[in-house]
Amino acid sequence: MNITCLAPPLVSRPALARSRAAAARNALAECRFCAHDCGVNRLASALGPCRAGPECRVFSAQLEAGDELELIPTFAIALSGCDLRCDFCITGLNSWSPRSGESLRTESLAQKAGVALDNGAKTVMLLGGEPTIHLPAALEIAAAMPVEAKLVWKTNAHGSSQARELLDGIFDVWLADYKFGNDACAERLADSHDYTRILRENLLWADTHSELIVRHLLMPGHLDCCWRHVAEWLAKELPRVKVSLRAGFWPAWHSARHSELRRPRPCGETTRAFQLAAALGLNLIP
């Protein structure tokens, strides 16, 4: 399904997001929002790899302060379900199940976000799971947010070109997880195929269409196979991009399936990871 998202000049974000939401809902009849490109008819309750149907649920909506300093405090809205199956997912119970949480109530979320902004929140963040699989709902939420809100799109960057077209101009910041430095680790740990090409294509697009922050979670035993390749590519292709190197890995969810992920990361790996980032001149942010 082809979607044309050209917007006339000076269209407000709420109006643009609202029109895109309608287009996105129609696109559920042949869903290709993520890079799995399954094409199932979610309006008829057919299920693809994400297992999501036509409706969106929310498993958390609250003020949070655990993200990057320039974004917090943030009013974070977590949509249930995801298109990847990361065995180490810290919110796996809700992120793997699109039926977790409560039914979406957009007006209520907008009211709560407004209160949070009035009380000092810097941003409103949409995350998951993975919000890309719920583009109609995500765009409706964006349309309902206060016009002065700084909107953050927290994503696994596994979306399709169709998703990028629908998202263009809606979110101020893309906070993108670059999880794996090679396709073998991505396939083994997250059941993701052709990961590197897809991820890099999305990051290069986001860098030219919004503010971009690239986040990488250091995993035990994955310094050289993952972080080194991620860091070297960023230094070469996106040398000025903001990079958030996260050291808070915990062996959650199904981590025990993988011998190297059954324990927290050794301190020595953390030191080496930050030394590599400094040697490559990466623009690290707290």
pLDDT tens-place values along the chain, 286 residues long: 555 555 444 789 999 999 999 999 999 999 999 999 999 999 999 999 999 999 999 999 999 999 999 999 999 999 999 999 999 999 999 999 999 999 999 999 999 999 999 999 999 999 999 999 999 999 999 999 999 999 999 999 999 999 999 999 999 999 999 999 999 999 999 999 999 999 999 999 999 999 999 999 999 999 999 999 999 999 999 999 999 999 999 999 999 999 999 988 888 999 999 999 999 999 999 9
Q: What is the total count of domains within the chain?
A: 1
Task: Work out the angle at residue 178's Cα, subtended by the Cα atoms of residues 54 and 121, and round it to the nearest 5 degrees.
Answer: 70
- The encoded tokens of residue 216 equal 């990488």
Closest alpha carbon to 156 in 133, 124, 182, 188: 133
* Distance in angstroms (rounded) separating the CA atoms of residues 45 and 41: 7
Q: Is residue 4 part of a domain?
A: no
What pLDDT, on the 0 to 100 scale, is given for residue 1?
55
CATH number at residue 187: 3.20.20.70
Q: Is residue 53 part of a domain?
A: yes
Q: For the whole model, what pTM was predicted?
A: 0.95
What pLDDT, on the 0 to 100 scale, is given for residue 8?
45
For residue 124, what are the CA distances in angstroms to 83, 121, 136, 201, 208? 22, 8, 17, 25, 21
Strand partners, 71: none
What pLDDT, on the 0 to 100 scale, is given for residue 85?
98
- The encoded tokens of residue 260 equal 């190297």
Query: What's at 138, amino acid-wise?
Result: A
Q: Is residue 256 part of a domain?
A: yes
Q: Is residue 1 part of a domain?
A: no
Helix spans in the chain (H): 13-27, 92-95, 106-118, 135-144, 161-167, 183-190, 195-209, 228-237, 267-280
> 260: domain range?
13-284
Closest alpha carbon to 45 in 96, 101, 99: 99
Q: Is residue 8 part of a domain?
A: no
**CA dihedral for 31, 27, 84, 56, sign (positive or negative):** negative
Q: Is residue 66 part of a domain?
A: yes
3-class secondary structure, 271: helix
Question: Could you tell me if 91 and 82 are in contact, meaning their C-beta atoms sit under 8 angstroms apart?
Answer: no
Closest alpha carbon to 49 in 39, 58, 59, 57: 39
Per the document, the length of the chain is 286
Q: Is residue 227 part of a domain?
A: yes
3-class secondary structure, 220: coil
Q: Is residue 252 part of a domain?
A: yes
Closest alpha carbon to 169 in 20, 34, 13, 24: 13
